[in-house]
Amino acid sequence: MDLGIKGRVAIVTGGGRGIGRETAREFLQAGVNVMTCSRTKDEVENTCAELAKLTGGKIKCIVADTTKPADIQRLVDETVKAFGTVDILVNNAGTMYSGRFEEMTDEGLQKQLDTKLFGFLRAIRIVAPIMREKKWGRIVSMIGGAGKEPDPYMFGSAITNSALLNMTKSLSTEFGPDNVLVNAVCPGWVGTALWRQHAKGLQKELGVDNEDEARRLATKKNALGRFGKPEELANAIAFLCSERASYITGVSLNLDGGRLKGLW
Ligand X SMILES: NC(=O)c1ccc[n+]([C@@H]2O[C@H](COP(=O)([O-])OP(=O)(O)OC[C@H]3O[C@@H](n4cnc5c(N)ncnc54)[C@H](OP(=O)(O)O)[C@@H]3O)[C@@H](O)[C@H]2O)c1
| Chain contacts with ligand X (rule: CB under 6 A) | 13-14, 16-20, 37-40, 43, 64-67, 92-96, 115, 142, 144, 187, 189-190, 192-195, 230
Q: Which is nearer to ligand X, 136 or 189 (CB)?
A: 189
R_g of the chain computed on alpha carbons: 18
Q: Which is nearer to ligand X, 17 or 148 (CB)?
A: 17
Q: Which is nearer to ligand X, 66 or 136 (CB)?
A: 66
Smallest gap from Cβ 83 to ligand X, in A, equals 19
Q: Which is nearer to ligand X, 83 or 118 (CB)?
A: 118
Smallest gap from Cβ 106 to ligand X, in A, equals 18
User: Which of helix, strand or coil describes residue 140?
Assistant: strand
What size, in residues, is the chain? 264
The CB-side HSE value for 246 (13 A sphere, CA atoms) comes to: 7
Q: Which is nearer to ligand X, 14 or 57 (CB)?
A: 14
d(CA 61, CA 49): 10
By CB atoms closer than 10 A (0-12, 13-18, 19+), residue 128 is: buried
Q: What are phi and psi of 123, to 5 degrees?
A: -65, -45
Smallest gap from Cβ 207 to ligand X, in A, equals 20
Q: Which is nearer to ligand X, 119 or 136 (CB)?
A: 119
By CB atoms closer than 10 A (0-12, 13-18, 19+), residue 185 is: buried
d(CA 3, CA 236): 11
Smallest gap from Cβ 156 to ligand X, in A, equals 11
Smallest gap from Cβ 160 to ligand X, in A, equals 9
Q: Which residues contact 16 (CB under 8 A, 6 or more apart)?
A: 36, 38, 40, 43, 44, 47
d(CA 171, CA 178): 11
Smallest gap from Cβ 70 to ligand X, in A, equals 12
